[in-house]
Structure 1
Amino acid sequence: MSKRNALVKKLQAVEALGQARVIAVDKTGTITKNELVVRQVWTGDKMFEVSGLGYEPAGNIKFENNIINVANHPELLMVGKTVALCASARLSFSDVEKHWYISGDPTEAAMVVFAKKIGFNKEDLLVEMPVLSEMPFDYNLKYHAVMNLVSGKNLLVAIGAPESIIGLSKNIMGVGNTRALLKEEKKKLEKILTHMSEQGQRVVAIGINENAEQDVNLESISELIFVGFLGMKDVLRPEVKDAMIRAEGAGVRIVMITGDHKITALAIAREANIYHDGDELLTGNEIDALTDYELSDKLSQTTVFARVTPNHKLKIINAFKKRGEIIAMTGDGVNDAPSLVAADLGVAMGKIGTEVAKEAADIVLLDDNFGSIVSAIEEGRSIYKTIKKVILYLFAGSWSQVLTIVGSLFIGLPLPLLPAQIIWLNFVTDGFLDVSLAMEPKEEGLLLDKFEKPKKYLVDKFMFKRTFLMAIPLALGALILFSLYFRTDITKAWTIALTTLAVGHWFNAWNCRSESKSIFQLNPFSNKFLLGSTGVIIILQLLAVYAPILQKLLHTVPLGLSDWLIIIPVAFSVVVVEEARKFLARRKVNYAFSLKQA
């Protein structure tokens, strides 16, 4: 994962992500670049277009496709001055990296850049217009307010969610005049808001009070003059669309949680392949009106959550968890921290993410690449499958020994394996092969099929049956050979039983490499660790049979060629049985697939 620029803080986090059924993504900074730029300004009954790239404070202002002189538009100057006074982000230029960068909220950063484009700098304004009071953005009130002393009067500026600012406004600013904000005007504003939002823009509204009371409570302001809208555009990350398709193909649902207006959220979700026809959208207010049961019922069809607060995010995450879903949450801000902690897996952005978000997360994407999340899903599934392969191998080997011993006692034969021989099988033979099996490379197509995870146990019914299907031929073969030799030479019988099981373990390690692919279809050189370990174990087993010092420890005797010609085919029976099972499994899958195609 480090090669993919993903910092894994907890190793089990990758395995958990492989089992995730739902990934809740924050819009800004996760599926978009988090480079908000003001593209449209509506004020004074006019729509202005703004050009420019990124955070560079350079660009033209157009009206009806013609570049204008901002000085001739006092309504536009009012917008520039108010956003410069209210926005708290900072814009700086790096002489080393030769580019502009921001510190602070991206939305307010976009406003700072726009203000500079039309000639307003906050530091210069504050010399003549000092701040009297300020209220940072409140997620419940949905606006940021500041009051400055301007020419002996108190200028109050509030910028925030359009529905909040419109609701607090009594009048609307025109060109050189102010008129009452009547119902017809509000309907007109709603149409303009819808038009801007449908273009995937984040829209904020501006309201002012040019003669506010000194002791006004910024949390309960009213009777504002509506100034206008700012439309900000943030482009999708280039890897997002492909990542969404891969995630969907892997059976992982992607849902988007954002504080943006529902129309903006819907436009971005459609573009990112998150929202499809037939899906539902829920807003924060709608969530508040639902009971926990009703919310849980809605989750199965909802892919977009708009105008939500941090409390709503937390409620959504917990609702998914109550449904039994394993959910991952991505985020970058301080407000995302509670949800990152509450989710089964928290993923934070490394470049734009706050330190609080990074601390709360289990995985940090150092390059902010959303595609790394899908790659982590693949890695997680590979880890899960590898764990199951190793468990299958160890269980099959252990049960083959148990069945051999129990079977021998049941039919009245002596012990077919001595304690030293059991230790040899478990610590020497298995000790090399299980570690090598854990180094098996990722299987192909891990993201092509929906991932099925047992509800409770790692060892499910299928693995349990497969374990015994491998153990029985090994145990039966070792028991039959032991029964044929023990009357004439008990030591040779022990040697043959031990060697039969050891050789069977070699074959079985290769059996466990794939659940469905034939052992003969797999490239033996793709896992060089297993290939090398098998060679080492063969040499050690030969030493166990022919080296005098090991003969004394393990109670073995030398075997002839005829003995090996019996042992190897008997041990190979475990491959024959497993290959038959795999063949039938492939036929069943192909038959089911052909039915689907028909």
Structure 2
Amino acid sequence: MDTADTPENQASRPFHLLEAEDVCALLEVTPTDGLTSEAVTLRRHKYGTNEIIETVGHPWWRILLGQFTDFMIVVLIAAAAVSGILGELTDAIAIIVIIILNALVGFIQEFRAEQAVIALKQMARTIVRVRRDKITHVLAAAELVPGDIVLLEAGNMVPADIRLLEAIDLEVDESALTGESLPVHKIIASIKDKDTILAERHNMLFRGTLTTRGRATGVVTATGMQTELGKIAVMLDSETIQKTPIQKRLAVFGRKLALSIIAICTIIFVAGLLQGEDMIMMFLTAVSLAVAAIPEALPAVVTIAFALGASQLVRQHALIRRLPAVETLGSVTFICSDKTGTLTRNAMHAELFYIAGVEYTTLASRDAISSEIKIFIQALALNNDVEKNPTGKLIGDPTEIALLQAALDTGIDNTALSKSWPRMAEVSFDSSRKRMTTFHQGKEQLLAFTKGAPEQVLEHCTSDIHGQFSHAAILDIANHWAMRGYRVIAYAYRDWPALPEPIDANNVEQELTFLGLAGLMDPPRDEVPAAVRECYQAGIKPVMITGDHPATARAIAERIGLVHDHADVITGKQLERLTDEQLSGQVNHTQIYARVSPQQKIRLVQLLQQRGEYVAMTGDGVNDAPALKKADIGIAMGEKGTDVAREAADMVLMDDNFATIVRAIREGRRIYDNIRKFIKYAMTGNSGEIWTLFLAPILGLPLPLLPIHILWINLVTDGLPGLALGQEKAEENIMQRPPRHPQESIFAHGMWQHILWIGLLIGALSLFTQAWAIQNNIENWQTMVFTVLTFSQLIHVLAVRSEAQSLFTIGWLTNPALIGTVLLTILLQLGVIYISVFNSIFNTAPLSLEELLFCCTVPWLVLLAVEVEKWLVRHGMIYRDSN
């Protein structure tokens, strides 16, 4: 390539007007070899990475400034300024310092949340097959450079702008780029019209579009921001982080609560004035209380919890693509799972063969291979899309790999066989036909090999290889194998004088000669039976939906404990005959669906949702994408799934394992529980502060706290201790309780009652401290109230670590992060009391040993009250639905 050529000039070249070989010459690449490693390095340096530059979220400075734009914070800053003007300079400076500290805490929280979300997006990268140095590699799409030879098949996302070199039955969904609703048929011929619009450049593929059918080879012509998608991205606004339903509900709740708190603060302000308190002091007190009590940080805290929780799920091989999925996980009542690779190991092995009326357990190590077995082995070796990676590992569909491996085990040289019988044409597999046909040209013969589901292949066979064809007898053998848990593949062939026209299923898959059967076993994953049991304990119904034979599906389902003997199996054909009303009556007790089409998956999801169920649906193919979108949680396969399925999904299983879904549900429940605990803790502490200041004037007591005290308590108790609750381990019974309804209030299961009465208790303890100290002529009574209120909230955060379990059962030290933040907060509070420089800032005074012991003893009544409440919960005496 011309070194003076710029990326912009390269991307603007009219590649669609050139012949395919001219494009390769211009890009200095040989299609069969691909680029060399040295060329890739030079071009990456010149063109950069193949990435669309996005502005996700907000820059750090905007997040920081945003901490000071809240109305109540602005009012507090103004009040502090007025206080300074009136001579209360120390108070004003102290308030401003705490506002800044609060802003820094908020900034760190929000910045971490955005970074976590960005990190999740980085993980959901497209992978692609590329030919380099004469070898096919699998690598991240971001590593592509112009001139790379890319291999695509149905279900792949197009990773860059590409000029087609080979296109077999290729159709592409370009709706995301051109708005064209129907898939576009692609060709390799050059286009003559110079004014051809983007949507009509049928020899080009564009980044961000999706291949829906066929397969292709092409050369990359533009990457990154030079692609057509990249040019559009320049004109787009920055992307916003998706909010979860709970965040939206909390934001609405926060606004309503803010109005109520402002009304209460107004009452406190007026009551203080009636008692003769200073107007400026009461105004600062009212505003400080409003700032501390209004939970404006709750939605941000939820973002952190979900985003960091999603990051933890990645370590358990579950990649969350859309943040609301973390919340929805706790509501799942049905898991509709594929069988192959999800419930099973996806490590198929061909164990049985039926050829020319004889059953074999292996094709290898035979002294003399008959002509019937020889042509069967030839079919195994040639009729597949398996490739080898640089290490020699076979890459492709697990079933095809197992079938090819059975051929390789006989000692054949597959490379030589492929050269002597090159593939000339093919009819790709699709889910409706359940067949695949490839044409191979020998020296004197043109053979078409067809493989697929036995019932689909046999109905197009008219004879077998040794002239004793019995459709019913062979089908009986296939069914018998399937009942034993084998996946059965039938092979047939046809001898052609020349390539037929047209090459389509209706034309070529007729008058076939039956070759034989192959029986493959894909054993269940070791951890799946335990995961299935956990589903039942958690009130979740696991369902198998597979394209396999009904008997195969039943055999695997029985092995994993999904069903017991004689369980109902509904096939796709039976589904077609059932009305929605009839099917709705069966979905609750049917757990195996076999030979099901992708369209029928959508129907099942819809019926379950109409019954009030919340459905997690797995899928890996192009045709699974609509069902994944329709499900409450769409789960795509990370290893064997297509790009289309992953784009449609909310979650990607990076190990394709059913047990990972159950672990993700467990983790989703834990995250949601910990969010509830934080809200319970924060709102109860705020409630305690409000009760303290609201009831004091009613009881004839002086102002119990100064504005600086309120802001300090808000800073040290709502920050680190609250966030440390997010590290709390899962409750013991977390997978023994039914799923949570998504519309259930966050304050359900006794939370609002807890917030009310424990908040009232904290307020009562604070006011009792004030009254007792004043009664005993203790001058430091305000410092004592300040300390009791702070320590009460720290005791409370320890007490609410579990909804029902006693703190003495779960252990004091099982959440080191929380213990550490509590101890740090205690030290900070003692510093405010006993370091002289802080005495003048916070209007505190050192307490005597007796006074300090009093302040350390009274708050333990909060722990006692919460423990009593949890005992009543455990014994079903209150909040009966909390377990």
Residue pair 2:386, 2:396 contacting (<8 A) in 1 also: yes
Where does residue 384 of structure 2 map in the other structure?
Answer: 87
The root-mean-square deviation of aligned C-alpha atoms, in Å, is 3.5
Counterparts of residues 19-418 of structure 1 (less than 5 Å): 19-50=331-362, 59-60=364-365, 69-71=368-370, 74-90=371-387, 94=391, 101-118=393-410, 124-125=416-417, 129=421, 131-148=423-440, 155-169=447-461, 171-173=462-464, 175=466, 177=467, 185-211=470-496, 214-215=500-501, 218-220=504-506, 221-277=509-565, 279-354=567-642, 356-358=644-646, 361-368=649-656, 370-411=658-699, 413-418=701-706
Q: Distance in 2 between matches of 1:322 and 1:544?
A: 59
Asked if 1:509 is matched to 2:794, the reply is: no
Amino acid at match of 2:377: G
Residue pair 2:429, 2:435 contacting (<8 A) in 1 also: yes
Amino acid at match of 1:134: E
> For 2:345, what is the secondary structure of its paired residue?
coil
What is the deviation of 1:127? Answer: 5.2
Residue pair 1:137, 1:143 contacting (<8 A) in 2 also: yes
Q: Distance in 2 between matches of 1:231 and 1:446?
A: 41
CA displacement, residues 550-598 of structure 1 (integer Å, 9 cap, x when unaligned): 4444444444445445544443322222121222223349xx9xxxxxx
Q: 1:471 to 1:262 in 2, by over 3 A?
A: same
Residue pair 1:91, 1:112 contacting (<8 A) in 2 also: no
Residue pair 1:45, 1:174 contacting (<8 A) in 2 also: no
Amino acid at match of 1:27: K
CA displacement, residues 412-463 of structure 1 (integer Å, 9 cap, x when unaligned): 6554333322212211233232123333344445334445456332221411
Asked if 1:447 is matched to 2:738, the reply is: no
What is the deviation of 1:299? Answer: 2.6
Q: 1:528 to 1:147 in 2, by over 3 A?
A: closer
Amino acid at match of 2:477: I
> For 2:519, what is the secondary structure of its paired residue?
strand
Q: Which runs of 5+ in 1 are unaligned?
A: 52-58, 61-66, 95-99, 180-184, 593-598
Q: 1:277 to 1:474 in 2, by over 3 A?
A: farther
> For 2:727, what is the secondary structure of its paired residue?
coil
What is the deviation of 1:262? Answer: 0.9
What is the deviation of 1:136? Answer: 0.4
Q: Distance in 2 between matches of 1:150 and 1:77?
A: 15
Deviates most, 275-284 or 421-430:
275-284
Q: Distance in 1 between matches of 2:772 and 2:663?
A: 54
Deviates most, 198-207 or 556-565:
556-565
Where does residue 540 of structure 1 map in the other structure?
Answer: 828
Q: 1:466 to 1:225 in 2, by over 3 A?
A: same
Identity of aligned residues (%): 33
Q: 1:274 to 1:288 in 2, by over 3 A?
A: same
What is the deviation of 1:144? Answer: 1.0
Residue pair 1:29, 1:332 contacting (<8 A) in 2 also: no
Amino acid at match of 2:449: V
Q: Distance in 1 between matches of 2:567 and 2:684?
A: 46
What is the deviation of 1:267? Answer: 0.9
Amino acid at match of 2:765: G
Q: 1:216 to 1:349 in 2, by over 3 A?
A: closer
Q: Distance in 2 between matches of 1:212 and 1:465?
A: 83
Q: Distance in 2 between matches of 1:509 and 1:187?
A: 71
What is the deviation of 1:70? Answer: 1.9
What is the deviation of 1:153? Answer: 6.4
Where does residue 428 of structure 1 map in the other structure?
Answer: 716
Q: 1:145 to 1:212 in 2, by over 3 A?
A: farther
CA displacement, residues 212-255 of structure 1 (integer Å, 9 cap, x when unaligned): 88336532243433333221122222222233233333333222
Out of 447, 466, 473, the position equivalent to 2:754 is: 466
Residue pair 1:469, 1:578 contacting (<8 A) in 2 also: no
> For 1:508, what is the secondary structure of its paired residue?
helix
CA displacement, residues 279-334 of structure 1 (integer Å, 9 cap, x when unaligned): 43222223333444544443322222211233333443444444443333444555
Q: 1:405 to 1:135 in 2, by over 3 A?
A: same
Residue pair 1:19, 1:380 contacting (<8 A) in 2 also: no
Deviates most, 209-218 or 157-166:
209-218
What is the deviation of 1:141? Answer: 1.5
Q: 1:41 to 1:516 in 2, by over 3 A?
A: same
> For 2:479, what is the secondary structure of its paired residue?
helix
Amino acid at match of 2:464: M
Residue pair 2:339, 2:545 contacting (<8 A) in 1 also: yes
TM-score (normalised: structure 2): 0.58
Out of 504, 521, 531, the position equivalent to 2:819 is: 531
Question: Which structure is higher in RCO with an 8 Å CA cutoff and minimum separation 6?
Answer: 1
> For 1:34, what is the secondary structure of its paired residue?
coil
Q: Distance in 1 between matches of 2:636 and 2:444?
A: 46
Q: 1:309 to 1:380 in 2, by over 3 A?
A: same
Residue pair 1:81, 1:120 contacting (<8 A) in 2 also: no
Amino acid at match of 2:348: L
Residue pair 2:330, 2:740 contacting (<8 A) in 1 also: no
Q: Distance in 1 between matches of 2:727 and 2:759?
A: 23
Q: Distance in 1 between matches of 2:680 and 2:418?
A: 70
Residue pair 2:465, 2:513 contacting (<8 A) in 1 also: no
Amino acid at match of 1:190: L
Residue pair 2:687, 2:756 contacting (<8 A) in 1 also: yes
Q: Which runs of 5+ in 2 are unaligned?
A: 1-311
Amino acid at match of 2:554: L
Q: 1:543 to 1:106 in 2, by over 3 A?
A: closer
Residue pair 2:558, 2:565 contacting (<8 A) in 1 also: no
Residue pair 1:19, 1:326 contacting (<8 A) in 2 also: yes
Residue pair 1:89, 1:103 contacting (<8 A) in 2 also: yes
> For 2:428, what is the secondary structure of its paired residue?
strand
Residue pair 2:328, 2:742 contacting (<8 A) in 1 also: no
Q: Distance in 1 between matches of 2:854 and 2:538?
A: 46
Q: Distance in 1 between matches of 2:722 and 2:831?
A: 21
Amino acid at match of 2:426: E
Q: Distance in 1 between matches of 2:735 and 2:821?
A: 30
Residue pair 1:36, 1:110 contacting (<8 A) in 2 also: yes
Q: Distance in 1 between matches of 2:818 and 2:405?
A: 59
Where does residue 17 of structure 1 map in the other structure?
Answer: 329
